[in-house]
């Protein structure tokens, strides 16, 4: 993947994961659709996803900066 594309993917993923982690967006949406049983698993999925996307963003930024 090109550095710019990798940076964009990491940045977009970080923003989406951060919005879903730190605001009740998914809790409200899942509760409205009747899938409130999945709310307990959100932290198990979203926090590692946030860490992964932050790592991708930092990696792409460092590669882009050195190139």
Specify the pLDDT at position 1: 60
| 16 close to 25: Cβ distance less than 8 angstroms | no
Question: Has residue 55 got a pLDDT over 90?
Answer: yes
Cα 13 to its chain centre, rounded Å, is 4
Specify the pLDDT at position 52: 92
Question: Has residue 31 got a pLDDT over 90?
Answer: no
Check: pTM over 0.85? Answer yes or no. Answer: no
- Give the DSSP letter of residue 2: -
Mean pLDDT of 28-39: 82
Question: Has residue 25 got a pLDDT over 70?
Answer: yes
Mean pLDDT of 19-46: 80
């Amino acid at each position: 993947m090109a550095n710019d594309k990798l940076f964009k993917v990491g940045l977009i993923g970080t923003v989406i994961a951060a919005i879903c982690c730190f605001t009740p967006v998914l809790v409200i949406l899942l509760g409205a659709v009747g899938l409130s049983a999945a709310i307990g698993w959100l932290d198990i999925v979203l926090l590692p996803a946030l860490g992964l996307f932050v790592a991708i963003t930092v990696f792409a930024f460092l590669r882009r900066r050195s190139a």
